[in-house]
Amino acid sequence: AIFLLLLIYFRRLHGVLIPFIAAWVTAIWGLGFTGWTEITFDPLVLVIPMIITARAVSHTVQMAERFFEDYEVILPQMDGDTEKAKIEAATVAMAELIVPGTLGIVTDFLGLLVIMITSIQQMRDLAIFGSFWVFAILFTVELLHPIMICYLPAPHDAQHYLPGFMVRGMDRLGHYVTDRIGKWVI
């Protein structure tokens, strides 16, 4: 469902393929670590890997969104050279998101490690495999994503696609919350 929504939203290979690969690599690393440490999944914690993988997709979508925004601005400056513009946009997007993205991932990592203080072994196992799984996002999103952008073909359409219903909805919401009456209701 997530990847169908990404396809509807991005309408580009970069916006669907890269989050899909990042999610799979993160899941493979997380499951591999879990098997290597001989931690067994209890049915009560099976939802946690899905949430962590969704977090990886979220970080990747943020990076893709930023890449498309930068690509739209940089392409005209490169006189239509799509390859140079693609690499420059990937570099700019990574430079702008490396600090906040890394901070978010490290915060998630440390938050899961806090669970280690419990005396319940199942929760301690969750803290161990969950924190590793989250830490793997650092590599799959912050490093692998810009590399994959550089190897995929440049987007054909430089215009960043925004669904009309979203633009209209955000315009209405923006006007309402800044309106004379709406700001007081909010």
DSSP string, 117-170: GSS-HHHHHHHHHHHHHHHHHHHHHHTHHHHHHHHSPPPS--SPP--HHHHHHH
Instruction: Give the chain's largest Cα–Cα span.
Output: 62
Q: Residue 106: which pLDDT band, with cuts at 50, 70 and 90?
A: very high
- Dihedral of the CA atoms 63, 68, 72, 78 (nearest 10)? 70
Q: Residue 44: which pLDDT band, with cuts at 50, 70 and 90?
A: confident
pLDDT at 154 over 90: no
Question: Distance between CA 163 and CA 39 in Å, rounded?
Answer: 43
Tokens found for residue 31: 């499951």
pTM over 0.85: no
Q: CB count, 10 Å around CB of 89?
A: 26
Q: CB count, 10 Å around CB of 140?
A: 24
Q: Residue 109: which pLDDT band, with cuts at 50, 70 and 90?
A: very high
Whether 137 contacts 56, CB under 8 Å: yes
Which amino acid type is present at position 160?
H
